[in-house]
């Protein structure tokens, strides 16, 4: 892994996390162990699946957690905390256990992406940054995966740095886009940090700088003889840009250089790309590629392809990097259990909204596969100490509508969460970004198309074990009992 400048993320936290940490400290409860689940309640983009991402960055955050002297000085200046607490912060490190789904895993609402087991002061404190990092990258990886799906095997380049929400959103967003299947990114910092290919052509400003387009193309070809690609829509795509590109392409190839193709960045991409293809072919450049950019997303790419657009490479910017149609994943971080006299006691949060009632207890997430097809049949949340389903078949039932059942015969199981930290030590081998992308592609291949449809997909079953379902119902009853019926 290449050098990344160390980051100053310890105070990237909500003030209330520090206040709760302090209140636990003052009450002497700060060392009691608690378990939190980080998950989301709904797939983004009205889609059928989500692609987990961000774990490596979360590891970097957890490993770097320490309050520097100037952090302590700043916290002292707030006037909220006593000296004993501020002294304790000097020695503060993450010492807990973390289990997480590997980056690139296909996940669904309710599945913990990260499970934290640590002294409550630590487990509570890391909520904000952990949720921020995992939520952001998971969102962008999912969006990228949809765009790549729409491109049906064409290359997708991530081009959004200038429209991202600040430098990190550009850099880590591009990282997530690669996980989602993008071939490369325009962001050089991401290329450097994560050893993935960078890509780019040139801008209209290059062409405008020169007195005319032909001169601009020739100047470009002089500088980039090994491979030139021209942006052809500065003045008029069909009457100026393409004829000039073809003229200079001939000069380039005559001089032993290589003409790669053209980029279309405005106008009707379906119409222009077909015209451009015909012109390039007629000029003897059947291998020249057509790159399209301009407000693309999965829906427009799908429609352009349906209309026969002759595009080889899609440059996708704003709508991918900002996850424009669902720019927040709604990730939450909920208390699941608290240690009492050496035993983990389940905790629940009840809500008027049934979807917001949490799943209590220390849990594992299990994916059931049909052996006959290798496809995933459903996910099961279980209590950690339950045995995995075994035998000749397993029955899944909907936790809200228990009469909705599904029996899977000849199945196998896989636990989704893997150990990442034990006692504050990293015990997980972080894969490279391209390994994660390959894994994500394989993951997606284990799901039926109906779950992956861009619009109105079939909901994938995420069910509870009988034991967890009973525990949850009992706890809800117990919590609500004092208030009677409305």
Interaction residues for its own copies, span 110-139 (CB under 8 A): 120, 124, 127-129, 131-133, 135-137, 139
Quote the strand ranges of 342-387, DSSP E: 343-346, 363-370, 376-383
| Residues between 207 and 226 with contacts to its own copies, criterion CB under 8 A | 208-209, 219-220, 222-224
| Residues between 415 and 474 with contacts to its own copies, criterion CB under 8 A | none
**Sign of the torsion formed by the C-alpha atoms of 425, 429, 434 and 435:** negative
| Residues between 63 and 92 with contacts to its own copies, criterion CB under 8 A | 70-71, 74-75, 78
Q: How near is the Cβ of 68 to its own copies at its closest, in Å?
A: 9
Q: Between the CA of residue 45 and those of 42, 318, 365, 366, 403, what are the distances in Å?
A: 9, 15, 24, 25, 29
* 433-445 and 167-179 helices, crossing angle to 10°: 50
Among 1, 26, 467, 473, binds its own copies (CB under 8 A): 26
Residue for token pair 């002497």: 28
User: Residue 115: what are its φ and ψ, rounded to 5°?
Assistant: -120, 125
Q: How near is the Cβ of 403 to its own copies at its closest, in Å?
A: 29
Closest CA to 289 of 249, 216, 229, 225: 229
Does the protein bind its own copies through residue 199 (CB under 8 A)? yes
Does the protein bind its own copies through residue 159 (CB under 8 A)? yes
User: Residue 447: what are its φ and ψ, rounded to 5°?
Assistant: -120, 140
Among 252, 348, 380, 464, binds its own copies (CB under 8 A): 348
Q: Segment near its own copies (CB under 8 A), from 43-51, 234-242, 386-394, 411-419?
A: 234-242
| Residues between 256 and 275 with contacts to its own copies, criterion CB under 8 A | 266-267
Among 51, 164, 245, 444, binds its own copies (CB under 8 A): 164
Q: Which is nearer to its own copies, 24 or 452 (CB)?
A: 24
Does the protein bind its own copies through residue 1 (CB under 8 A)? no
Q: Which is nearer to its own copies, 4 or 405 (CB)?
A: 4
Among 153, 166, 342, 391, binds its own copies (CB under 8 A): 166
Does the protein bind its own copies through residue 203 (CB under 8 A)? yes
Q: Which is nearer to its own copies, 49 or 125 (CB)?
A: 125
Q: Which is nearer to its own copies, 247 or 398 (CB)?
A: 247
Query: Following DSSP, what letter does each residue of 60-89 receive, concatenated?
Result: HHHHT----HHHHHHHHHTT-S-HHHHHHH
Give the gyration radius of the chain's Cα atoms: 26
Does the protein bind its own copies through residue 12 (CB under 8 A)? yes
Structural contact between residues 21 and 13, judged by C-beta atoms closer than 8 angstroms = no
Q: How near is the Cβ of 170 to its own copies at its closest, in Å?
A: 6
Closest CA to 434 of 180, 76, 225, 70: 180
């Amino acid at each position: 892994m290449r050098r990344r400048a160390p980051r100053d993320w310890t105070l990237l936290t909500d003030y209330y996390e520090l206040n709760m940490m302090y209140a636990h400290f003052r009450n002497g409860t700060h060392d009691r162990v608690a378990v939190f689940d980080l998950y989301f309640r709904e797939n983004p983009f009205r889609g059928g699946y989500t692609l987990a991402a961000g774990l490596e960055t979360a590891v970097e955050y957890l490993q770097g957690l320490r309050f520097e002297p100037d952090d302590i000085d700043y916290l002292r200046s707030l006037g909220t905390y006593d000296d004993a607490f501020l002294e304790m912060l000097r020695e503060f490190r993450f010492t807990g256990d973390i289990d997480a789904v590997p980056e690139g895993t296909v996940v669904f609402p309710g599945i913990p992406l990260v499970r934290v087991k640590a002294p409550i002061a630590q487990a509570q404190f890391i909520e904000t940054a952990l949720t921020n990092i995992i939520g952001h990258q998971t969102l962008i990886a999912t969006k990228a995966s949809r765009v790549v799906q729409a491109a049906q095997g064409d290359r997708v380049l991530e081009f959004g740095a200038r429209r991202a929400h600040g430098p990190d959103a550009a850099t880590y967003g591009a990282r997530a886009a690669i996980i989602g299947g993008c071939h490369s990114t325009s962001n050089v910092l991401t290329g450097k940090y994560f050893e993935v290919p960078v890509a780019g052509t040139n801008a209209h400003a290059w062409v405008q700088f020169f007195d005319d387009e032909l001169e601009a193309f020739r100047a470009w070809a002089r500088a980039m003889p090994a491979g030139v690609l021209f942006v052809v829509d500065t003045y008029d795509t069909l009457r100026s840009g393409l004829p000039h590109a073809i003229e200079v392409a001939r000069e380039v190839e005559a001089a032993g250089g290589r003409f790669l193709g053209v980029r279309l960045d405005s106008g009707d991409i379906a119409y222009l790309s077909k015209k451009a293809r015909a012109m390039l072919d007629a000029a003897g450049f059947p291998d020249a590629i057509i790159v399209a950019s301009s407000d693309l997303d999965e829906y427009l790419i799908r429609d352009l392809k349906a209309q026969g657009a002759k595009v080889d490479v899609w440059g996708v910017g704003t709508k991918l990097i900002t996850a424009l149609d669902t720019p927040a994943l709604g990730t939450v971080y909920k208390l699941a259990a608290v240690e009492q006299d050496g035993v983990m006691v389940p905790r629940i949060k009840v809500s008027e909204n049934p979807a917001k009632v949490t799943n209590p207890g220390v849990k594992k997430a299990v994916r059931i596969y049909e052996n006959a097809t290798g496809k995933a049949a459903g996910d099961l949340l279980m209590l950690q100490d339950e045995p995995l389903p075994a035998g000749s078949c397993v029955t899944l039932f909907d936790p809200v509508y228990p009469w909705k059942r599904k029996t899977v015969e000849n199945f196998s199981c896989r636990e989704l969460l893997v150990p990442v930290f034990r006692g504050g030590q990293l015990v997980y081998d972080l894969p490279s970004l391209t390994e994660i992308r390959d894994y994500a592609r394989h993951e997606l291949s284990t799901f039926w198309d109906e779950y992956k449809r861009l619009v109105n997909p079939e909901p994938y079953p995420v069910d509870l074990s009988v034991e967890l379902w009973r525990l949850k119902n009992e706890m809800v009853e117990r919590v609500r009992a004092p208030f009677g019926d409305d």
